[in-house]
């Protein structure tokens, strides 16, 4: 399952479990012609970064292959936060996802009940019907 980590990273890029993170400006910061004064609270919205076409080509497409030789800049992939506040359980979380998917994919298949259903894009992309599916145990 060499491709699985790429699928996991692409899944985390597309739909993050945390809506956003808050940070406090430790110093005055100039950003795109604006000044963020020291002490102000800043909301970092993962989706704005993970769906930015300047960082990820075709950001609305689910493309695990984008991670094959992907060299991302610091702060362009932050499903577990960044810097000194990166989630200490990030590696464990990815390991747990990998173990679950390994056993699930070998023993079950999903049959989506509404494969052409509409998608809502805010606050994160998800099917309107929450992706109703039938879980079928493989023989």
Full-model pTM: 0.77
**pLDDT tens, residue by residue, 14-56:** 887 777 888 899 999 998 899 999 999 998 888 888 989 999 9
Paired tokens of 93: 């979380």
| CA angle in degrees (0–180, nearest 5) for 58-59-62 | 90
Q: pLDDT digits over 91-114, tens only? A: 999 999 999 999 999 999 999 898
DSSP H helix total and E strand total for the chain: 3, 8
**81: exposed, middle or buried (Cβ count in 10 Å: 0-12, 13-18, 19+):** middle
CA angle 44, 98, 89 (to 5 degrees): 45
């Amino acid at each position: 399952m060499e491709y699985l980590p790429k699928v996991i990273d692409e899944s985390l890029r597309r739909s993050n479990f945390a809506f956003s993170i808050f940070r406090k400006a430790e110093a005055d910061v100039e950003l795109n012609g604006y000044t963020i004064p020291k002490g102000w609270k800043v909301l970092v919205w993962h989706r704005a970064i993970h769906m930015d076409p300047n960082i990820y080509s075709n950001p609305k497409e689910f493309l695990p292959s984008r991670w094959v030789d992907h060299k991302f800049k610091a702060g362009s992939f932050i499903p577990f936060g960044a810097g000194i506040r990166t989630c200490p359980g990030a590696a464990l979380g990815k390991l747990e996802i990998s173990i679950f998917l390994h056993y699930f994919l070998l023993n079950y298949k999903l049959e989506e009940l509404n494969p052409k259903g509409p998608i809502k894009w805010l606050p994160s992309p998800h099917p309107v019907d929450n992706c109703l599916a039938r879980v079928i145990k493989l023989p």
